[in-house]
Amino acid sequence: MEEIRKAQIKNFIKKEFGIEIDDKYIEDYDQALTHNNDHRTKGTRKPERLAFLGDSYLEFIVRKYLYNHKDNINLGQMDLLKQELVGNKNGWQKIAEKIGLGEQMVYIQQNQPISRSFHSTKELARSFEALAGVLSYDCPNNAEEKLIALFVKHGYLQNRLEDALACYDKSGNV
């Protein structure tokens, strides 16, 4: 990996998460921000594996947040709220847009980098999940805290919870 790419990734993680990363996991961060456009159907690439891990990690963080901050709602409501927060990939895409994640993404087609200015909702959400996956093991002591701070800073948790609770109050369902 080129030094300029390493510096770009390190600066982005420092700016958005306040985390200093070293070279130990820099390749994983690069993979989290890489999309392959060859539509391979067999096998799983590392970015997809990181997104799989990150999806579970983000769900855990949201569950823990609800447990710690929403003691006035019952278990069924908590579960519905969790589904609203993590079941909708548009939420991760919106956070990815707010932090400029698309500017950090690299696209590979036939083993060659290509430039693209458009990023689909799915690509942005997947990259955010993959990034969370790397953070989960690179910074196990403070990744959760940093991600929650990011969610709060951008109004993700509070706005989505208020909307979901308002819908619940009106219909009895989220």
User: Which structural domains are found in the chain, ordered by start?
Assistant: 3-171 (1.10.1520.10)
Measured CA to CA in angstroms, residue 73 lies from 9, 41, 76, 78, 154 at distances of 40, 43, 8, 7, 24
Catalytic-labelled residue, pool 16, 30, 84, 129: 129
CB 88 within 8 A of CB 94: no
CB 28 within 8 A of CB 50: yes
pLDDT digits 0-9 by tens, 39-80 = 655 556 788 899 999 999 999 998 888 888 878 878 888 888
The torsion angle over the Cα atoms of residues 48, 147, 4 and 123, rounded to 10 degrees, is 40
Q: In the prediction, which pLDDT does 174 show?
A: 44
Please say if 55 is a catalytic residue: yes
pLDDT digits 0-9 by tens, 95-107 = 899 999 989 988 7
- Quote helix, strand, coil % in the chain, to nearest 5: 70, 5, 25
Going through the chain in order, the beta strands assigned E by DSSP cover 34-36, 106-109, 112-114
Catalytic-labelled residue, pool 16, 55, 123, 144: 55
pLDDT digits 0-9 by tens, 105-118 = 887 766 666 666 66
Please say if 129 is a catalytic residue: yes
